[in-house]
Amino acid sequence: MTEREQQILALVRENPLISQVDIATRLGISRSAVAGHIMRLVAKGVIKGRGYVVNDAPFAVIIGGANMDICGKPAGKLRMQDSNPGKVDSSPGGVARNIAENLARLGVDCRLIAAVGNDHHGNLLLKQGQTAGIDMGYMLRLDSSPTSTYVSVLDESGDMLVAINDMSIVEELRPGHLQLHEQMLRQSSLIIADTNLPDASLAYLGGTFNEQPLFVDTVSVAKANRIKPYLDTVHTLKASRSEAEELCGIRAPGNKKLSALADWFHSRGVERLFITLGPGGVFYSDGDAHGLMETGAKSKNVKNASGAGDAFVAGIAYSWLAEWPLEKSTRFAMSAAQVALSHRSTINPAMSAAAVNRIYEANYVA
């Protein structure tokens, strides 16, 4: 869809009885132009029948951070407290935005709710998201704050050594903005949130939408505790080992006590838990079954590890929508992470269901 079509569709979703005159007034275009866009949306099957009935195909909503990523990797061994020759890349990023793009590239209809500034980086994020297939019609655009920026430094192996983020704009994603899209959220098949969101917004999502499973990515040790008061509303939680340990206060060195971590989360209401262990694989649990899924033997081509977690969450979301069992879901998600690891950008432009399935079959199918 074009940017204008996405804007019109967002207005129709909010008010299916809105008139073409009202749409034209809201968007500052002519009524005849609106009529033309409506006709094209009908032809595409996005809108059907009279009264602007929106086609109710399953879709996911992703809410949280969107920013520009600036990532540096040394050409050789990283020398601390020194200037290192290497490669610096800039690309769209942010946990929620990255999950949304991975999902879109996997073929899932997804809508992103995030905040960007009315600046160059904000323009780039909106345009790139639309190009990638994300529905960007629900974004919050602000004149008062700059678009988030995330700066990371990788070591020579591609693992993140340190990062700094300037993401104060995410604090503007308050419940009041989310309430504007409550009808759309209630129609979704799945809601995914990251802990960049303010506490009040996490509480609103968990306390308002009981029909939709809530998936949460804990993002970082510093932000993981934001979801702690609302764990009983979380269906699926993805966390790194350090983030999980920070939340529950249990240490699990050398993969010991991972099941104890899982028991703690399940006792707080979390239905499914995925603890990512870097090269060590993933620990998964749903309270009845649990296990440690090791990284596949052919999963060794690491060029950038910073986007693997976001691709993993997209993989478990894709698997949930496909109604796959826990073990298959974990393997598929790990394969999605491997697709991300094999490209120097945070998002691998080759991400697709076919690409993930090739790795899945190479690693897990005898």
What does the DSSP assignment read for 318-343? Answer: HHHHTT--HHHHHHHHHHHHHHHHTS
- pTM for the model stands at 0.81
* Residue 183: predicted pLDDT: 87
Query: What pLDDT, in 10s, does the model give residues 328-337?
Result: 999 999 999 9
Q: Which CATH architecture has domain 57-364?
A: 3-Layer(aba) Sandwich (3.40)
Going from the C-alpha of 65 to that of each of 181, 196, 204, 255, the distances in angstroms are: 17, 6, 17, 30
* Residue 2: predicted pLDDT: 82
Q: Any idea which of 69-78, 262-271, 337-346 has the lowest mean pLDDT?
A: 337-346
Arithmetic mean of pLDDT over the chain:
90
Domains 1-56 and 57-364 share a fold: no
Q: Please give the Cα distance from 60 to 214 (Å, whole number).
A: 10
How far is residue 211 CA from its own chain's centroid? 20
Residues 6+ apart with CB under 8 A from 320: 190, 213, 215, 236, 329
If you write DSSP's letter for every residue of 162-195 in order, what string do you get?
A: EEEEE-GGGGG--HHHHHTTHHHHHH-SEEEEET
In the structure encoding, which two tokens stand for residue 222, read together?
């510093």
**Residue 53 predicted with pLDDT over 60:** no
Mean pLDDT of 111-118: 97
Query: What pLDDT, in 10s, does the model give residues 152-211?
Result: 899 988 888 888 888 999 999 999 999 999 988 998 999 999 999 999 999 999 999 988
Q: Which residues of 152-191 are buried (b: 16+ CB within 10 A; e: fewer)?
A: bbbeeebeeeeeebebebbebbebebbeebeebbeebbbb
User: CB–CB of 275/292 below 8 Å?
Assistant: no
According to CATH, what is the number of the domain 1-56? 1.10.10.10
Q: Do the strands 60-63 and 110-113 form a parallel or antiparallel pair, or are they unpaired?
A: parallel
Q: Please give the Cα distance from 166 to 163 (Å, whole number).
A: 10
Mean pLDDT of 288-311: 80
What confidence tier does 222 reach under pLDDT thresholds 50, 70, 90? very high
User: CB–CB of 313/194 below 8 Å?
Assistant: no
Q: Any idea which of 82-91, 117-126, 157-166, 305-314 has the lowest mean pLDDT?
A: 157-166
What confidence tier does 150 reach under pLDDT thresholds 50, 70, 90? confident
What confidence tier does 45 reach under pLDDT thresholds 50, 70, 90? confident
Name 283's bridge partners: 275, 292
Question: Reduced to 3 states, what is the DSSP secondary structure of residue 147?
Answer: coil
What confidence tier does 3 reach under pLDDT thresholds 50, 70, 90? confident
* Residue 366: predicted pLDDT: 63
* Residue 296: predicted pLDDT: 67
Sheet arrangement for strand 160-166: 86-93, 67-74, 148-154, 160-166
Q: Please give the Cα distance from 224 to 216 (Å, whole number).
A: 10
For the chain, give me the number of helices (H) and strands (E)?
14, 16
Query: What pLDDT, in 10s, does the model give residues 58-114?
Result: 899 999 999 998 889 999 999 999 999 999 988 899 999 999 999 999 999 999 999
Sketch the domain layout of the chain as residue ranges: 1-56, 57-364
What confidence tier does 54 reach under pLDDT thresholds 50, 70, 90? low
In the structure encoding, which two tokens stand for residue 278, read together?
């870097």
Residues, the chain: 366
Q: Please give the Cα distance from 340 to 356 (Å, whole number).
A: 10
Residues 6+ apart with CB under 8 A from 354: none
What confidence tier does 283 reach under pLDDT thresholds 50, 70, 90? very high
In the structure encoding, which two tokens stand for residue 309, read together?
């977690």
Q: Please report where in the chains the tokens 């610096």 appear, as a residue.
A: 88
**Residue 55 predicted with pLDDT over 60:** no
